[in-house]
Amino acid sequence: MSGIYDEAYYKSNNYVTYLQRKERYSKTATEILEFLNKIHLDQGPILDFGCAVGFLTEALIEAGLEVDPVDVSEWCIEEAAKKNLTIARTPDYDKEYGITFALDVLEHMPYFQITEFLNNLKTRLMVFRVPVCYGQDTDYYLEASRVDPTHVIRWNAQDWEGLLKHYGYQIITLNLSTIYCSKGVYCGIAIRGGIPKNEPYFPRQGSL
């Protein structure tokens, strides 16, 4: 799987702007941290899950925070190392995080990997962003989401909300200048407050 996310992937037409978005990720980090301060949510150690080459990680480190970046892409790991940024291949599930960032990553994971991640993750809150479908049993709303062959989970916003609530999270949707909900994107802050259910979560039939 890690070989799929190589240099060609990040420089393809679908991701041609990704490597030019360091400034945007820096602004996203600032906006999220300011928002969390306003609603009096503690920060603590941060997991940047699916960090790619580490733009968001770098911005969070510059803000003086402790960050553990994680990504499966060998190319991203090598690129980050050129900047003296060390990226792990898997999360440290023994560590308790204040914040987990999972931006544009969960849709790339088979369902069993998502459940493994949520079952093992210890975090007080998770900032997430996923592309969504516009209805049931439909494709992604956005063309850019449809053409990425590594997008394997096609859910609508209600499916994702149901999954996160199943694992004991309550959702605050985000509508900031650099990270916001739209017809094709669902994003928010998932705050851990409940007890995860023992039985597996199954979204609408045919969505896996």
Contact by Cβ (8 Å): 127, 189? yes
- The pLDDT of residue 205 is 44
- Considering the domain boundaries, does residue 202 fall inside one? no
- Considering the domain boundaries, does residue 101 fall inside one? yes
pLDDT in tens, 126-155: 999 999 998 766 899 998 899 888 999 999
Q: What is the Cα–Cα distance from 31 to 129, expressed in whole angstroms?
A: 15
- The pLDDT of residue 14 is 62
Report how far Cα 66 is from the mean position of its chain's Cα atoms. 18
Q: What is the Cα–Cα distance from 157 to 167, expressed in whole angstroms?
A: 16
- The pLDDT of residue 67 is 97
- Considering the domain boundaries, does residue 197 fall inside one? no
- CATH classification of the domain holding 29: 3.40.50.150
- Considering the domain boundaries, does residue 207 fall inside one? no
* pLDDT exceeds 70 at position 199: no
- Considering the domain boundaries, does residue 154 fall inside one? yes
DSSP E strand stretches across the chain? 46-49, 67-70, 97-103, 123-131, 169-173, 185-192
Which of 7-21, 41-55, 103-117, 148-162 has the lowest average pLDDT? 7-21
- Considering the domain boundaries, does residue 37 fall inside one? yes
* pLDDT exceeds 60 at position 15: no
Total number of domains in the chain: 1
- Considering the domain boundaries, does residue 177 fall inside one? yes
Q: What is the Cα–Cα distance from 91 to 105, expressed in whole angstroms?
A: 14
Residue-number span of the structural domain to which 83 is assigned = 2-192
The residue whose two tokens read 């090598």 is 78
* pLDDT exceeds 90 at position 6: no
Going by C-alpha positions, the residue among 120, 123, 114 that lies closest to residue 162 is 114
Mean pLDDT of the chain: 88
Q: What is the Cα–Cα distance from 109 to 40, expressed in whole angstroms?
A: 32
3-state secondary structure of 180: strand
- Considering the domain boundaries, does residue 92 fall inside one? yes
